[in-house]
């Protein structure tokens, strides 16, 4: 197996043209049908370069490139450099092409198993992209099929299994295929389906959505006792399953990746340390998704309630701002918190109000331009206490100011910064405490999220 430990370098322009390359990479470029001055012809390399240029950060990851004589395993690092991107290819290993690995073969088996029923496809915002009729008697589309662009959760309601688990949610968090997820139609709970699906990835290895089938089950009416039993599984049993299946292993992954990144056990090559940092960041993102899903199950219960206690919105604003100071500094954003001697009494649950404010301020920091300012202002009158989070970003169009509070709604954003559940959960919590969240401000003048709560018990 030929191995070339020397670093192989290349430079790529902002419009994706290969400007220079060491011999081995240039040979691969020509074999793929390109040349110097032409677009990068190896899709995996082009995707990493585009991602690095778009995010403005260094991206490191492994790729496999296929050639006429076999496969090439590479570790690629893409770094923005002036008006383009510099590629550094490390650990170039050439090997003969082999049969499908076990994981790929299993994935192909999963796809083949989805032959029955009608097909659906959803994106990362859990919106339908397509629906297709199947080839057998069970593959006919329902009389009211989902419309492309509509929400998955607006059409199907997932049901837990006897252990309180939901195969689709677990698979989504683990980026794996799933089978035998039972669901009923939101519009007609008497109509039930068995869902199966497999994940789809782009050339850069990013999850882009799921494709699967819906197999109709015999129409049965869910008895009231069965409905009550299903509700009783949340959040206790479901939370236990999350802790056991996701939280604990994710916590170990994050802790180990942080240890590697900090090089506590000894020095590492810089690219390996950077890769460990990427793993830790991805683990934290998944942990945040698990937290959002657990919150979602809790607040959608009919018996969900919050504690009524005296809180100080100004004090909570300062606490939330403190939690996000480091994140803001990373983007050169200044958070202007209320004065230390100010006070705004309100009624609500302390930890839930803090959760809402962390979400609102975090969104403002995430979507504001670098070098801008996020202001937090409090006021009270007519029995209402209000706190406003005001940024200098693009703002929210008037037509989208209610839509943005829907489940999994991200207004077309393609970044990986959130799950699309934060604002939905925040508004549900605010309303459970007798308040609300609305959006103010003129279009084009930044976003202004306003949390209102009763002033006292």
How far apart, in Å, are the Cα atoms of 183 and each of 109, 220, 238? 23, 12, 17
Give 79 or 444, the one with higher predicted confidence. Answer: 79
Kindly report, residue by residue over 126-184, the tens digit of the pLDDT. 888 888 876 555 567 788 888 888 888 889 988 887 766 778 877 777 777 888 889 99
Kindly give, in sequence order, each residue whose CB lies less than 8 Å from that of residue 451, ignoring residues fewer than 6 positions away: 313, 353, 356, 357, 360, 386, 387, 388, 389, 426, 430, 435, 436, 437
Q: Taking the CA atoms of the chain, what radius of gyration do you get in angstroms?
A: 25
The confidence score (pLDDT) of residue 3 equals 46
Q: Are the C-beta atoms of 392 and 444 separated by less than 8 Å?
A: no
Give 296 or 451, the one with higher predicted confidence. Answer: 451
Kindly report, residue by residue over 51-63, the tens digit of the pLDDT. 888 878 888 777 7
Task: State the average pLDDT over residues 342-358.
Answer: 90
The confidence score (pLDDT) of residue 407 equals 78
Return the axis-axis angle of helices 270-299 and 248-261, rounded to nearest 10°: 150
Question: Whole-number mean pLDDT of the chain?
Answer: 78
The confidence score (pLDDT) of residue 385 equals 93
Q: What is the dihedral of CA 307, 337, 324, 345, to 10 degrees?
A: 0
Give the Cα separation of 142 and 117 in Å (integer). 11
Residue 304 pLDDT grade (very low, low, confident, very high; cuts 50, 70, 90):
confident
Residue 398 pLDDT grade (very low, low, confident, very high; cuts 50, 70, 90):
confident
The confidence score (pLDDT) of residue 224 equals 40
Give 445 or 302, the one with higher predicted confidence. Answer: 445
Considering Cα of 41, then 44, then 49, then 53, what sign does the dihedral take?
positive
Output the CA angle 246-252-255, nearest 5 degrees: 135
Residue 222 pLDDT grade (very low, low, confident, very high; cuts 50, 70, 90):
very low
User: For domain 3-95, which CATH number applies: 3.40.640.10, 3.30.450.20, 3.20.20.80, 1.10.260.40?
Assistant: 3.30.450.20
Question: pTM, whole model, 2 decimals?
Answer: 0.44
Neighbours of 244 (CB within 10 A): 11
Output the CA angle 15-18-24, nearest 5 degrees: 155
pLDDT of 119 strictly over 70? yes
Dmax over CA atoms of the chain, in Å, equals 77
Q: Which tokens belong to 125?
A: 């915002």
Most confident residue range from 11-15, 291-295, 442-446? 11-15
pLDDT of 289 strictly over 80? no
Q: How many CA atoms lie within 13 A of 343 on its CB side?
A: 5
Q: How many CA atoms lie within 13 A of 226 on its CB side?
A: 10
Which CATH code for domain 102-220? 3.30.450.20
Least confident of 30-39, 166-175, 350-359: 166-175
The confidence score (pLDDT) of residue 148 equals 82
Strands (E), 101-203: 118-123, 128-132, 156-158, 178-185, 192-201
Chain-centroid distance, C-alpha 336: 28
Q: Where are the domains of the chain?
A: 3-95, 102-220, 236-297, 309-454
Kindly give, in sequence order, each residue whose CB lies less than 8 Å from that of residue 441, ignoring residues fewer than 6 positions away: 390, 395, 447, 448
Which one, of 192, 125, 134, 207, lies nearest residue 158 by Cα? 192
Give the Cα separation of 217 and 45 in Å (integer). 45
The CATH-assigned architecture of domain 309-454 is 2-Layer Sandwich (3.30)
- Note whether 3-95 and 102-220 share their fold: yes
Residue 333 pLDDT grade (very low, low, confident, very high; cuts 50, 70, 90):
very high
Which one, of 143, 119, 144, lies nearest residue 130 by Cα? 119
């Amino acid at each position: 197996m030929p191995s070339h430990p020397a670093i192989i370098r290349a430079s790529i322009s902002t419009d994706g043209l290969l400007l220079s390359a060491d011999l081995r990479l240039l040979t691969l470029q020509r074999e793929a049908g390109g040349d110097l001055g032409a677009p990068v012809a190896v899709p995996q390399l082009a995707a990493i370069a585009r991602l690095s240029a778009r995010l403005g950060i260094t991206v490191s990851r492994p790729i496999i490139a296929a050639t006429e004589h076999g496969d090439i395993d590479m570790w690629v690092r893409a770094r923005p450099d002036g008006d383009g991107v510099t590629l550094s290819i490390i650990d170039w290993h050439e090997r003969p092409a082999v049969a499908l690995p076990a994981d790929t073969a299993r994935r192909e088996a999963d796809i083949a198993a989805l032959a029955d029923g009608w097909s659906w496809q959803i994106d990362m915002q859990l919106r339908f992209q397509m629906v297709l009729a199947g080839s057998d008697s069970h593959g006919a589309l329902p009389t009211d099929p989902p419309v492309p662009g509509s929400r998955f959760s607006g059409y199907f309601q997932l049901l837990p299994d006897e252990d309180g688990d939901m195969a689709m949610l677990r698979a989504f968090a683990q980026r794996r295929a799933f089978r035998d997820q039972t669901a009923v139609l939101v519009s007609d709970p008497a109509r039930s389906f068995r869902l199966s699906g497999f994940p789809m990835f782009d050339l850069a290895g990013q999850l882009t959505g799921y494709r699967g089938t819906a197999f109709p089950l015999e129409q049965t009416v869910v008895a009231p006792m069965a409905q009550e039993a299903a509700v009783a599984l949340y959040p206790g049993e479901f939370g236990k399953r999350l802790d056991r299946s996701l939280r604990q292993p994710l916590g170990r992954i994050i802790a180990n990746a942080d240890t590697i990144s900090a090089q506590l056990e000894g020095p590492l090559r810089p690219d390996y340390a950077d890769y460990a940092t990427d793993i830790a960041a991805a683990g934290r993102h998944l942990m945040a998704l698990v937290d959002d899903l657990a919150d979602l199950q809790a607040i959608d219960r009919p018996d969900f309630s919050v504690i009524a206690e005296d809180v100080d919105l100004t004090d909570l604003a300062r606490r939330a701002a403190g939690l996000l100071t480091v994140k803001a500094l990373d983007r050169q954003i200044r958070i202007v918190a209320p004065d230390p001697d100010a006070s705004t009494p309100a009624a609500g649950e302390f930890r839930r109000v803090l959760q809402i404010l962390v979400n609102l301020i975090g969104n403002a920091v995430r979507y504001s331009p670098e070098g801008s300012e996020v202001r937090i202002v409090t006021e009270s009158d007519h029995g209402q206490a209000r706190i406003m989070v005001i940024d200098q970003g693009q703002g929210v169009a008037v037509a989208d100011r209610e839509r943005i509070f829907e489940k999994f709604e991200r207004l077309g954003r393609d970044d990986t910064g959130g799950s699309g559940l934060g604002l939905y959960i925040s508004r549900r919590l605010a309303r459970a405490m007798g308040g609300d969240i609305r959006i103010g401000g003129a279009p084009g003048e930044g976003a202004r999220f306003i949390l209102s709560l009763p002033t006292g018990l």
